[in-house]
Structure 1
């Protein structure tokens, strides 16, 4: 019923995504009544204005979130998206905020996570409206603004606005996500007593990473050499297939570690620049003391691993193994801090993870601080919401073999009753979320829009 409207709207949809990508919506310091900074504010204002121009009802929820709504009725179908993005990182081929198109791909930070699916969802609503569809329930596209850094946005929304009766979040993978692993973010911290002057190399600083849920693609150490390490760096690069630059800067030496960014839920797809640098520092003769103990502990208990085994949390269940990501580090001669992001199996409890870590940290002098936990989400594959969305996916793709899956990523679906993640990455597609040169294939953008259009129609017509 909506095919003609869909074809008519394709070009404008692509332009809308380009324009949204061109707004750098990375979290910044609050300014005035903009809780997450000016860039995120501009992204929210842009899409709400776009929705209003399409004839939908819109509301800005105190600059924390917003919604775009279509239809009437007491019940509501929710679509849960976010407009904030992680920092761009390094070494892009394309402008990360350019929205450039090349060989059928639209490049930019947020094209997959999550601006592309947000625009697809909005145009799915427009396709139905333009085709004259009258939904049996209200359709509300809910737009958060700090999903990547804590989701205070959606907490604020829930304090002020009603919850949908049923919802999906296009912020993961197709076909349907029936389970999301638990997520823990925390710091490991230690203050350093003054080191012994034993002639060892002085580590003046060590910094790296942009966000807990990103595999860091850059880290840098500043040190004073008391004995030469240039040859050690060269040998380490060869034997470990590492990329660490050795740079003389006056009296100081800089070690610049280059990795490969990836989403924190899939660290195997990246190369951790912090871990790479810690491995090198563990090989050289650094001053003995609390600082060196902290560095060596991290190198030996985390290193390049992402299973958490050496940190006492190498758990797995029938669905997934635990995933461990060292996301950020900030260290000088007085104290050190790393920020860790863990995705733990659906059948585990938060205390299982905390107790395992406590056991590994015992006697190290390292404190576990700023603990934040989001419990797992699980729906049986036979749940009506899961089965309805599976039928939509199969009808539109002809893929009768795929089954509902569980993931390490976290979505807004956890924050709402009767909600699951649905899309937007297709099976077999390249996942560039949180990586350099993030892109969305335009044909996939159009295909997901078609799928979301049918999903909205069916969810508005069925009792779930």
Structure 2
């Protein structure tokens, strides 16, 4: 019945996703009734209005979050989605906020992460409702608005609204995510003293990165050099560098390739590439050059934390580290690392290793935020039910639950796991330019989520 009904919703489903993609729901300065920015608040309003027009109960939780609910009952099935997106970056072949369809692909920021899966779940609820299904649990599609920047929206939701009895989040990979690595955002700062006017290159500013959980695709440096840098830049073949001159100031741009912070090896880190180049130059002696060379030597282009002394691997995963943001001025330097550590590793051991790595350098660990790992045994009833649904809908009898480096809303709720929406072997364009979702995949995940909601709420 589900497979037969789903195709007739395709056109409507696509239009709904296009409507939501057109909102540039990137976190911005707070405003009235907009704690995470006006565009995010507008996106939430639009999503709730769509749900209400479908005949569902729609509630705005003080503009921090919202939910769309179907059915009655004491127990509740929660579906945890988010409407905020990371910045679009540059280099798109199609406008990032237009929802253009080309060759069965719907392009736009959020199509995979997480507006596309959210719309699939909404229509899964509608398909069940239209079929006359009466759930034994309330089905609540919970809409967050700050997932990409720390999930403060879910903290607020939990203070003001009801927790689900059981939940899943369509914000990762298929099949079922039974484990998520620990996630640390570590901010390092150093105050600089006067530089030694020794005839070397003076660094005015270095800047790169827009979010810690993205591999930066652009980094820039402004320097004053006593000699012409053009030949050195032209001969350097380990990075994509562009040099421009403005009076006595040389501006160097380094272009990389963006990727999700949980898989930094899939991108090219523009900050790391630029720092490696600058570290070989004759910089003025002082705190600034010390900070630059420390980053080059102890972080470099590595994504495993080996030179920083934090590399670790267990049965499930290996640690990954992403140098997500850097800002150096004449007076100070600040960098932010996004670290994903294995499920069996301990936060205290990781922090101890980092404290040891910066001891005696003048670098201070000024901010530390940790989201502990999440783990369910593969034979947990929730994992088993969702695995059965996935195998039934895809025919993949060899599929097994997996662990990932990404962090999802599943961490914020009890008895919750991530479930989809990226299929094994499928191109992952989350947090990258030209993010897209294939329309056949969009319809397939709608089928899977319809079946999952049915099984978990019947």
TM-score range, shorter chain: over 0.9
CA distance in 1, matches of 2:293, 2:388: 52
Return the TM-score normalized by structure 1. 0.98
What is the match of residue 214 of structure 1? Answer: 214
CA distances 1:210-244 after superposition (whole Å, capped 9, x unpaired): 100000000100111112222222222x2x2x201
What is the match of residue 320 of structure 2? Answer: 323
What is the match of residue 353 of structure 1? Answer: 350
CA distance in 1, matches of 2:442, 2:372: 31
What is the match of residue 82 of structure 1? Answer: 82
CA distances 1:393-414 after superposition (whole Å, capped 9, x unpaired): 0000000111100000000001
What is the match of residue 382 of structure 1? Answer: 379
What is the match of residue 48 of structure 2? Answer: 48
> Secondary structure of 1:311's match?
coil
2:288 equivalent to 1:269: no
What is the match of residue 38 of structure 1? Answer: 38
- Superposition deviation, residue 4 in structure 1: 4.5
What is the match of residue 17 of structure 1? Answer: 17
- Superposition deviation, residue 23 in structure 1: 0.4
What is the match of residue 160 of structure 1? Answer: 160
What is the match of residue 369 of structure 1? Answer: 366
Gaps of 5+ in 1: none
1:74–1:137 CA contact under 8 A, matched in 2: yes
- Superposition deviation, residue 57 in structure 1: 0.3
What is the match of residue 415 of structure 1? Answer: 412
CA distance in 2, matches of 1:250, 1:451: 60
What is the match of residue 424 of structure 1? Answer: 421
> Secondary structure of 1:72's match?
coil
- Superposition deviation, residue 338 in structure 1: 0.6
2:304 equivalent to 1:307: yes
CA distance in 2, matches of 1:275, 1:3: 48
CA distance in 2, matches of 1:93, 1:364: 44
What is the match of residue 144 of structure 1? Answer: 144
CA distance in 2, matches of 1:226, 1:99: 49
CA distance in 2, matches of 1:258, 1:137: 50
> Secondary structure of 1:445's match?
helix
What is the match of residue 185 of structure 2? Answer: 185
CA distances 1:46-93 after superposition (whole Å, capped 9, x unpaired): 100000000000100000000000000000000000000000011111
Gaps of 5+ in 2: none
What is the match of residue 247 of structure 1? Answer: 244
1:310–1:360 CA contact under 8 A, matched in 2: no
CA distance in 2, matches of 1:85, 1:379: 27
CA distance in 2, matches of 1:5, 1:330: 53
2:33–2:41 CA contact under 8 A, matched in 1: no
1:229–1:284 CA contact under 8 A, matched in 2: no
Return the TM-score normalized by structure 2. 0.99
Number of residues of Structure 1 aligned to a counterpart in Structure 2: 458
1:5–1:130 CA contact under 8 A, matched in 2: no
CA distance in 1, matches of 2:233, 2:263: 28
CA distance in 2, matches of 1:205, 1:442: 44
CA distance in 1, matches of 2:3, 2:68: 22
What is the match of residue 257 of structure 1? Answer: 254
> Secondary structure of 1:188's match?
strand
